Structure 1
Amino acid sequence: MTARRQALGRYGEGLVERWYAERGYRVLERNWRCPLGELDLVVTDGIHLVICEVKTRSTDRFGTGFEAITARKQQQVRRLAAHYARQRGGWSGPIRCDAASVMGRKVEVLAGAF
């Protein structure tokens, strides 16, 4: 991945992190990694453990960020979410997978997207 794309991704993740924080969520992790892969954002509202997959685009030439979250990616995020919960001593509450699309400064979040 090029440095430009990495910077764009970090930018979008920062905007989404702020979006959650402004709504009262507590950010637990950003770019959590394990041998199975990476989770972009892990947040909680005190009830839900929320895993958010963030896709940032500079243009819509190749579609929206939401369109880039394929069924395969959704499956991987679900698997990583379960692994994260187990590693953190188990999560007794519900786990929700959100999707976020960032274009410019515009942030859209779909709660429970998959």
Structure 2
Amino acid sequence: MTAHSSSEQGVAAPVQNRRSRGRVAYLSGSAAEGSVARHYERRGLPLAERRWRGRVGEVDLIVQNGNGLVFVEVKKSKSFDRAVAQLSTAQMRRIYATAEEYLIGMPKGQLTEVRFDVALVNAHGEVKIIENAFGHF
């Protein structure tokens, strides 16, 4: 049996708690993305990609909209207001840049019709979609 000093135990507990919170946040975010993907699919917009990662960043969901695409940022929080408040201008810029990178592989490239939505998920699992959410920033 090895004795640990109180300082060693003091470091291990916060690291473990941080990992646990990170795992919970990851699973919660993944569940929210799944819920949003099902929401779009029920509306006739099939999922093309989930958590597509480019050099600049990641797009949570990409759904097909006829011949076009919808890039979706999913935000989950206790309320819709708190969820939408989490979206920053810098994050929108990264999503735009990542979308440009994704479009390189599309038949029409940058001429592909696109839309940028924000999908909000509250603590009750309710989904609210804000279409064309980014506007001009």
Secondary structure at the counterpart of residue 40 of structure 2: helix
Are 1:96 and 2:115 an aligned pair? yes
Gaps of 5+ in 2: 1-18
Select the structure of larger CA radius of gyration.
2
Change beyond 3 A, Cα 1:43–1:91:
farther
In the TM superposition, residue 91 of structure 1 has moved relative to its aligned partner by: 5.2
TM-score w.r.t. the length of structure 1 is 0.89
Q: Which amino acid aligns with 2:87?
A: I
Identify which of structures 1 and 2 has the higher relative contact order when contacts are C-alpha pairs closer than 8 Å and 6+ apart.
1
CA distance in 1, matches of 2:54, 2:68: 21
Asked whether the equivalents of residues 65 and 100 of structure 1 are also in contact (C-alpha less than 8 Å), the reply is no
Indicate the residue corresponding to 2:13 in structure 1: none
In the TM superposition, residue 44 of structure 1 has moved relative to its aligned partner by: 1.2
Percent pairwise identity:
30
Length, aligned pairs only: 111
Q: Which amino acid aligns with 2:117?
A: D
In the TM superposition, residue 66 of structure 1 has moved relative to its aligned partner by: 1.1
Q: How does 1:1-114 map to 2 (within 5 A)?
A: 2-57=22-77, 59-60=78-79, 63-89=81-107, 90=109, 92-103=111-122, 104-114=124-134
TM-score w.r.t. the length of structure 2 is 0.75
In the TM superposition, residue 34 of structure 1 has moved relative to its aligned partner by: 2.1
Asked whether the equivalents of residues 55 and 98 of structure 2 are also in contact (C-alpha less than 8 Å), the reply is no
Asked whether the equivalents of residues 55 and 66 of structure 1 are also in contact (C-alpha less than 8 Å), the reply is yes
In the TM superposition, residue 37 of structure 1 has moved relative to its aligned partner by: 1.3
Runs of 4+ with deviation above 6 angstroms: none
In the TM superposition, residue 52 of structure 1 has moved relative to its aligned partner by: 0.3
Q: Select the structure that is richer in helix.
A: 2
Q: Deviation digits for residues 26-68 of structure 1, max 9, x if unmatched?
A: 11000111222111000011133100000112x24xx521111
In the TM superposition, residue 97 of structure 1 has moved relative to its aligned partner by: 0.5
Report the aligned-residue RMSD. Answer: 1.5
Secondary structure at the counterpart of residue 127 of structure 2: strand
